[in-house]
Chain A
Amino acid sequence: MSETDTRTTEETARRPGRERGREDGKFGRYGGQYVPEALMPAISELTDAYERYVLDNEDGFVDEFRERLADFGGRPTPLQRADRLSERYDRDVYLKREDLLHGGAHKLNNALGQVLLAKYMGKERIIAETGAGQHGTATAMAAAHLDMPCTVYMGERDINRQRPNVFRMKLNGSEVKPVTTGRGTLKEAISETMRDWAETVEDTHYVIGSIVGPHPFPVMVRDFQAIISEEAREQAIEKTGGLPTDVVACAGGGSNTMGTFAEFVDDESVALRAVEAGGSTLEVDEEAGVAPNSASLYAGDEGVLHGARTKLLQDSDGQIMESHSISSGLDYAGVGPELAYLVDEGRVEPVAVDDDAALEGFHRLSSTEGIIPALETAHAFGFLEEHHEELGERVVVNVSGRGDKDLDAAIEETDKRDVDGAPDMSMFTGGI
């Protein structure tokens, strides 16, 4: 049995595996606080609140957070053996079922943590940005649960790709503001939310959706998401008698990845694989300023975006490229500074999976295991199919979210291709 059982809440919050970046927001050369001066006071206030409530459990913050995650969120989520996939790949494949968390994705861990923190800080209003709509949905749910008004910024293009989530946010009483600049995806939505925050910092908290942005966001979001690996590690030991050989998670901004890796980083025997969106190709079009992928760990260069120094998809002048992925939740030109650092250190291996392989992964998990994954998550299963021979005997894959939100997009994308194992819908269309 793992030693974590004897730890108090405070000790758990202060686990050594999560010391990186806490002191000064730096992960080697990455991280920092590159924001307009108007935001600096809010960021210092937040750093202070993070230290007091999240690290030191002041006023019982961590206890309340854990309790709400259990009762409202439905934690712990199971670690399930995937029998058909295990047979297919001839090794044990375990699924960490974050798709079963309330709202259908890992995003609630962070959203609930931050909205609760905002409440402890005495803030009166919540703003957030969203790509897939999954973080926006989680924030809207947490805000409704904790009775806080909430505004969510979302790129126009993403609104069109993710209508069910827009409806869910509105059902929960949040305002959804379309962002029309640029290509209308996550990058533009983050910029727009930062602008709102610059004007309203005094009474508003910005619930950033991943391990990106200025310190303390990358460490704080990691700490809220680390519950995934904390549970997965204990469950793996309990179920299988030992640590996994490999842990796999998809990476957009990287909150799912870091949450799934955090407790394993110090377990040197465990290989950590961050699966990025390879889009249509890993080539970039410098002239057009477009990267037809979102593989910033794999293909990006160091730079400064949205408050942190990290790996970015950018042209040689330093202009940020428009990224692409079949899944809007991975469609971002940057990535968390901690992941960038762990990749440079050789601790995390970045891998890219393209749109086609992700879509096949989507169909494969659905038909073999009865689990319809988010298109984001499907990238991890695309990786499994392509690289299983390189993996050890016991693999944990994080199912970061469920695919209900993606059915429209999946139908549209499936129609465009000849996808192995996809349902034949031809007899149901037209005619009648």
Chain B
Amino acid sequence: MADADNSEAIAAAFADGPAFVPYLVAGDPDESASTAYVEALDRGGADVIELGLPFSEPIAEGSTIQEALVRSLDAGMTPDRFFAFAEGLDVDAALVCMTYYNLVYQYGSGEARSASNASGDAASTGPRPFVERAAAAGIEGLVVPDLPAEEADPLREACDEFGLDLVFIVAPTTRGDRLDRIMANVSGYVYVQARLGTTGARDDVSDQTTASLGRLREYDVPKAVGFGISTGDHAERIVAGGADGVIVGSALVDVVAEGASEDLPTAEVADRLEALARELKEGAERGYRSRTETVESA
């Protein structure tokens, strides 16, 4: 059974009121603009910020985020630069790294290989060096969408060792034994995927969300809903429907993408991000109030 509160910062973010959890790709479109953008989200009220570390084959991502990952990679992002980027941020929100397993698994393997060549041992690759470095950079949690709970033991152990939370995604189709297995591994918060498919902003909030939240009610871990949330209204409805937090990625990445394609000044894009963050955060808070009021009047 996972330790449900590895990271105190993440636990605190969900402790009172709904958590607003924005996502941006670190280094999109370049590191200096990206720093300004992430800090703008923090000013806009972010409680936890998910930072994407780009992988060349992001199979869980829709086109908006995929293109952002490519922009960041093209600008030279690497795991080491990502950690330096996180260290350089001036934010209050807790930081979570979202990436794919091959990067977690390979980190430090070059050194391990050359060291093992020298010592004659087998190369020791595995998730531990990545987690150790992430902890040193102030990262409080990880989301690895292509790592199923069945394969997660080594990463889970490393996260426990260094005090990071390991967040898992639960899909609308997840139930029964799988749900139990995931929930036994999750810590920090569970990422409730609002609908099937890949990431991408949508205009509606699906019934699948309500059903998923219902299935998760018995588990004592904060539930953050993501995939397709793009307005304060969505956030309000999601939180009113029982979510403990909202995760917003593509809608924010769209703002960055527009800034990049239209060559807008960094400060202007940052202002837009801050405004959208505030709208989303306020939406979430309205949803929370309506929920507590309903409970009180009931």
- Complex Cα distance, B171 from A34, in Å, reads 15
Q: A15-64: which have CB < 8 Å to B?
A: 32-38, 40-42, 44
Q: Do the beta carbons of A303 and B105 come within 8 Å of each other?
A: yes
B206 within 8 A of A: no
Q: Do the beta carbons of B106 and A37 come within 8 Å of each other?
A: no
Q: Number of A residues contacting the other chain (C-beta, 8 Å)? A: 37
| Chain B residue contacts of A316, Cβ below 8 A | 106, 109-110
Q: Do the beta carbons of A195 and B198 come within 8 Å of each other?
A: yes
B62 within 8 A of A: yes
Cβ proximity bits A169-186 to B, threshold 8 Å, 1 near / 0 not: 000000000000110000
Q: Which of A40, A301, A306 makes the CB contact (< 8 A) with B174?
A: A40
Q: Give the distance to chain B from A298, nearest Cβ to Cβ, in Å.
A: 17
Q: Do the beta carbons of A306 and B102 come within 8 Å of each other?
A: no
Q: Give the distance to chain A from B241, nearest Cβ to Cβ, in Å.
A: 20
Q: Which of B79, B110, B151, B168 makes the CB contact (< 8 A) with A33?
A: B151
| Chain B residue contacts of A317, Cβ below 8 A | 78-79, 103, 106-107
Q: Quick one: closest B residue to A25, CB to CB?
A: B150
Cβ proximity bits A271-310 to B, threshold 8 Å, 1 near / 0 not: 0000000000000000001000000000001111111000
Q: Which of A35, A199, A312 makes the CB contact (< 8 A) with B146?
A: A35
| Chain A residue contacts of B90, Cβ below 8 A | none
A182, A195, A201, A312 — most chain B CB neighbours (10 Å): A195
Q: Do the beta carbons of A37 and B145 come within 8 Å of each other?
A: yes
Q: Which of B57, B148, B172, B173 makes the CB contact (< 8 A) with A320?
A: B57
Given contacts A195-B198, A201-B196, A316-B106, are A302 and B125 in contact (CB under 8 A)? Answer: yes
Q: Which of B100, B145, B169, B196 makes the CB contact (< 8 A) with A199?
A: B196
| Chain B residue contacts of A148, Cβ below 8 A | none
Q: Do the beta carbons of A199 and B198 come within 8 Å of each other?
A: yes
Q: Give the distance to chain B from A335, nearest Cβ to Cβ, in Å.
A: 15
- Complex Cα distance, B101 from A35, in Å, reads 10
Q: Do the beta carbons of B59 and A194 come within 8 Å of each other?
A: yes
B58 within 8 A of A: yes
Q: Do the beta carbons of A34 and B174 come within 8 Å of each other?
A: no
Q: Do the beta carbons of B174 and A41 come within 8 Å of each other?
A: yes
- Complex Cα distance, B57 from A187, in Å, reads 8
What are 13 A-to-B residue pairs whose CB atoms are below 8 Å? A33-B148, A36-B59, A37-B168, A38-B197, A41-B178, A191-B59, A198-B196, A202-B196, A289-B56, A304-B102, A314-B106, A319-B103, A320-B102
Residues of A within 8 A of B (CB): 32-38, 40-42, 44, 181-182, 187, 191, 194-195, 198-202, 289, 301-307, 312, 314, 316-320
Using A191-B57, A199-B198, A320-B102 as known contacts, list a sample of 6 further A-B pairs with CB atoms less than 8 Å apart, ordered by residue number in A.
Answer: A38-B173, A40-B171, A202-B173, A314-B106, A318-B102, A320-B56
Residues of B within 8 A of A (CB): 55-62, 66, 70, 73, 78-79, 100-107, 109-110, 125, 145-148, 150-151, 168-174, 178, 182, 193, 196-198
